[in-house]
């Protein structure tokens, strides 16, 4: 944490760091020709350590340091490459041409069903797996033709998993296999659908903005076309989707109260209270009438719609549904970005579990960046505000543009093509959604 504070606290160092990353990103987009050492940008300082491991970016632009030399021609997505930049739509259009060529050659082969494959195994399906990974550029074409699941295959599977938002453990199970067996034509069409979205989303972005990509369940703080901070997120479940939003982050609320939205009172709170009359007390939620008089739960008829006419407010604390931090921005949807007491939700691949809000892992790092240009709010003051337990508000001196977007396929400045599940079925391509999300 101290490294993050120092990096964010020294503005001149931070600006130099951003220029170095921006130069490296430009080299990557140009193919790295004659870029020399500039292509090997340092890892982003203010990024979740777990996410850095997930993306396989430890300060090297190669695929990884533990694999044979032949696999180093295959690049992993870079942590510094933002999902949205002025170039994203054009780079994604170039990817469509690549996929057109794959489709014209007959697409990639289907990998036969198998329970599990991992390094050291030998299986006939590995022959098809190698061919499949080579067709999508995840495996060196010279490494095809045998049935051994060796380090080359494991590295290629990890790269494929990273590009599809799956935990890159290098093991082939049903989830990874299902993503592999989506046809090249369907993936090409998915890219085409997202180009129109990207063209709309990547104009007039400005130098400093935050992006929540809902299908990726990921938050990015972007400055001068560099993702300086990236966070795992939890977003709305299919039955309560997170909305598309274009707004501005205006204020940070430390140790906030949470006022329960009427929709959650109706859908969740009333049914819970019918079964557990002590729920409000155990969760520090108070009831107020229209005149701000506090009521007791026993005064409300929970077997009717009576409860929707009252205000339910949860006290600040570690138990609060918003956690210790709320990022406020105006919107007509009544949703926020915030901390959460349920940190375990960040550990899964399928993070679609909220009622529309966006929960942010390591939200404190994002707040450091948001308040970096606001006088009086260095990282130490932010830490003190959080630890005080008091409700404190910090207004940004310059509001930061915020975009909640729905992008399921793209190619960023690193040139790596990425796909995510069409969790809300907005692409209309019939790609099956894993049951872990479909049943939420």
What lies within 8 Å, CB to CB, of 328 at 6+ separation is 249, 250, 251, 252, 253, 336
- What is the layout of strands, in order, in the sheet containing 258-259? 258-259, 311-314, 285-288, 294-295
Question: Residues 27, 357, 358, 403: which is the catalytic one?
Answer: 357
What lies within 8 Å, CB to CB, of 401 at 6+ separation is 205, 206, 208, 209, 210, 246, 247, 248, 249
Q: Is 338 a catalytic residue?
A: yes
Question: Residues 27, 164, 231, 338: which is the catalytic one?
Answer: 338
Place of tokens 């329960």: 260
HSE-up of 377 (CA within 13 Å, CB side)? Answer: 23
Residue 86, SS3?
coil
Helix H or strand E segment including 420: none
Q: Is 357 a catalytic residue?
A: yes
Cα–Cα distance, 440 to 437 (Å, whole number): 5
Cα–Cα distance, 432 to 418 (Å, whole number): 17
End-to-end alpha carbon distance in the chain: 34
Cα–Cα distance, 414 to 399 (Å, whole number): 29
Do 406 and 84 contact (CB within 8 A), yes or no?
no
Do 249 and 328 contact (CB within 8 A), yes or no?
yes
Residue 261, SS3?
coil
Residue 229 dihedral angles phi and psi, to the nearest 5°? -155, 130
* Cα distances (angstroms) measured from residue 65 to each of 68, 161, 194, 244, 357: 8, 18, 33, 39, 38
What lies within 8 Å, CB to CB, of 204 at 6+ separation is none
HSE-up of 162 (CA within 13 Å, CB side)? Answer: 26
Residue 215, SS3?
coil
Which residue numbers are catalytic?
338, 357
């Amino acid at each position: 944490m101290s490294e993050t504070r120092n990096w964010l606290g020294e503005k001149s160092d931070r600006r130099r760091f951003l220029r170095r990353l921006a130069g490296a990103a430009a080299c990557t987009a140009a193919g790295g020709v004659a870029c020399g050492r500039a292509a090997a940008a340092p890892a982003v300082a203010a990024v979740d350590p777990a996410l850095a491991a997930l993306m396989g970016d430890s300060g090297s632009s190669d695929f990884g340091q533990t694999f044979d030399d032949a696999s180093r021609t295959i690049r992993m997505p870079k942590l510094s490459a933002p999902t949205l930049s002025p170039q994203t739509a054009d780079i994604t259009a170039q990817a469509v041409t690549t996929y057109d060529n794959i489709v014209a050659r007959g697409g990639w082969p289907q990998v036969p069903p198998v329970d599990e494959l991992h390094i050291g195994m030998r299986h006939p399906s590995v022959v098809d797996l190698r061919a499949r990974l080579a067709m999508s550029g995840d495996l060196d074409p010279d490494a095809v033709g045998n049935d051994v699941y060796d380090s080359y295959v494991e590295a290629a599977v990890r790269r494929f998993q990273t590009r599809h938002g799956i935990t890159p453990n290098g093991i082939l199970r049903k989830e990874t296999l299902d993503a592999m067996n989506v046809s090249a034509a369907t993936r090409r069409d998915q890219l085409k659908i997202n180009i129109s979205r990207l063209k709309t989303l990547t104009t007039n972005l400005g130098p400093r903005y935050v992006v929540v990509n809902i299908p990726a369940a990921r938050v990015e703080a972007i400055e001068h076309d560099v993702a300086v901070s990236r966070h795992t997120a939890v977003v709305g479940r299919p039955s309560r989707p997170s909305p598309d939003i274009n707004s501005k982050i205006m204020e940070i609320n430390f140790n906030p109260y949470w006022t329960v939205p009427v929709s959650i009172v109706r859908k969740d709170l009333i049914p819970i209270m019918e079964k557990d009359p002590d729920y409000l007390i155990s969760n520090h939620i108070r009831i107020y009438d229209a005149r701000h008089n506090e009521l007791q739960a026993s005064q409300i008829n929970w077997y009717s719609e009576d409860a929707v006419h009252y205000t339910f407010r949860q006290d600040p604390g570690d138990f609060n549904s918003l956690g210790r931090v709320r990022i406020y921005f105006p919107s007509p949807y009544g949703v926020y970005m915030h901390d959460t007491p349920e940190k375990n939700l960040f550990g899964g691949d399928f993070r679609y579990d909220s009622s529309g809000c966006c929960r942010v892992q390591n939200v404190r790092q994002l707040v450091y960046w948001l308040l970096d240009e606001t006088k009086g709010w260095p990282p130490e003051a932010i830490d003190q505000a959080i630890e005080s337990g008091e409700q404190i508000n910090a207004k940004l001196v310059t509001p930061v543009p915020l975009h909640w977007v729905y992008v399921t396929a793209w190619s960023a400045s690193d040139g790596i093509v990425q796909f995510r599940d069409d969790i809300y079925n907005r692409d209309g391509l019939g790609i099956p959604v894993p049951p872990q999300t479909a049943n939420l």
